[in-house]
Amino acid sequence: MISPSLVKKIETAGLDAALIEQRVAQALAEDAHGGDLTSKATIAENQMSSAYFVARKSGTIAGTFVAAAVLEECGITKYDILVSDGSAVEAGQKIISVEGNTRAILLAERTALNFLSHLSGIATVTAQWMKEVNGTHTKVRDTRKTTPGLRELEKYAVRMGGGTNHRMTLTDAALIKDNHIAAAGSVTQAIERVKAEFPGIEIEVEVDTLEQLKEALHAGVDIVLLDNMGIEETKAAVELAKNSATKLESSGGLKLENARAYASTGVDFLAVGALTHSAPVLDIGLDF
């Protein structure tokens, strides 16, 4: 069980403490269901040590509360989070200090690092995207392209990097995509069916062409997702939608190198699945 004080910190951060405890328990069981044979053979049962989680490279930190939950599940109660989630760190900077049983620290090490490095990697990549669009009104949003079971944590990491969350689940809003349109018969029919079934729900529709955009604007939706449109076509889309309340989101073909060019067209959002499905881990280690 994790401590009430850590539960409070997790919930203050907008996360589900019970979910984190469950994920941590599963990860530890996966890693050490039979115990740590190497530590049992090489380290005295009562040996005590102190250690630090240290950034090997510069980046943005996320997941310290999850790492702390791992420590507590392994029986370590004496630790100090030195860097808040969402903070930038430099190579060599200490993130968490730990004191406790040496075997327990080593038992927690890999699982804690897996969570901390992965989530910090997402936060770091998101911060890079935010830097590219700085000075524009465009927001960088994530997608549902997340690791099964880790969506809440990965989307939290996006927020720590300065990004914006899109739908957490399929029930948060309607996103009419190409397959929905094909099944319904047209953009207009798909929109009308959603409005009839779920009046008042936010509706976003994906379009491939400017003609489809015109149809979506005429039908009336909250957001239009511009799928794989180039810069010039995106500019034309912004011009078409300028007198409507409908927001525009670019998706497909987006890279750090062209993020500012897309943001400069005037779109409201950039949908970037790579924030979660392709972010490299931030190199973090544990040093005694």
Residue 242 pLDDT: 94
* Residues of the chain falling short of pLDDT 50: none
In-domain check, residue 140? yes
In-domain check, residue 262? yes
Residue 34 pLDDT: 74
In-domain check, residue 90? yes
Residue 120 pLDDT: 98
In-domain check, residue 161? yes
Residue range(s) defining the domain that contains residue 62: 4-122+280-287
CA distance 53 to 76: 14
CATH of the domain at 206: 3.20.20.70
Same domain, 199 and 149: yes
Write out pLDDT tens, residues 171-196. 999 999 999 999 999 999 999 999 99
Residue 32 pLDDT: 85
Same domain, 272 and 136: yes
Point out the catalytic residue in the list 145, 195, 214, 235: 145
Overall domain count for the chain: 2
In-domain check, residue 85? yes
Same domain, 139 and 53: no
Same domain, 18 and 151: no
CA distance 158 to 243: 31
User: Which amino acid belongs to residue 92?
Assistant: G
Same domain, 138 and 250: yes
In-domain check, residue 127? no
Residue 64 pLDDT: 98
Point out the catalytic residue in the list 21, 132, 142, 206: 206
CA distance 155 to 40: 37
Same domain, 191 and 212: yes
Same domain, 18 and 64: yes
Same domain, 143 and 219: yes
Helix (H) or strand (E) holding 203: strand 203-207
Query: For this structure, is 145 an active site residue?
Result: yes
Point out the catalytic residue in the list 21, 154, 227, 249: 227
In-domain check, residue 148? yes
Same domain, 167 and 263: yes
Residue 146 pLDDT: 97
Same domain, 115 and 43: yes
The angle at the Cα of 278, spanning 71 to 54, to the nearest 5 degrees, equals: 35
Residue 79 pLDDT: 98
Same domain, 65 and 148: no
Point out the catalytic residue in the list 9, 57, 94, 110: 110
Helix (H) or strand (E) holding 115: helix 102-132
In-domain check, residue 58? yes
Helix (H) or strand (E) holding 181: helix 178-184
Point out the catalytic residue in the list 177, 193, 214, 235: 177
Query: For this structure, is 110 an active site residue?
Result: yes
The verdict on pTM exceeding 0.75 is: yes
Query: For this structure, is 227 an active site residue?
Result: yes
Same domain, 158 and 219: yes
CATH of the domain at 64: 3.90.1170.20
Residue 26 pLDDT: 96
Strand order in the sheet with 48-55: 78-81, 94-101, 48-55, 284-287
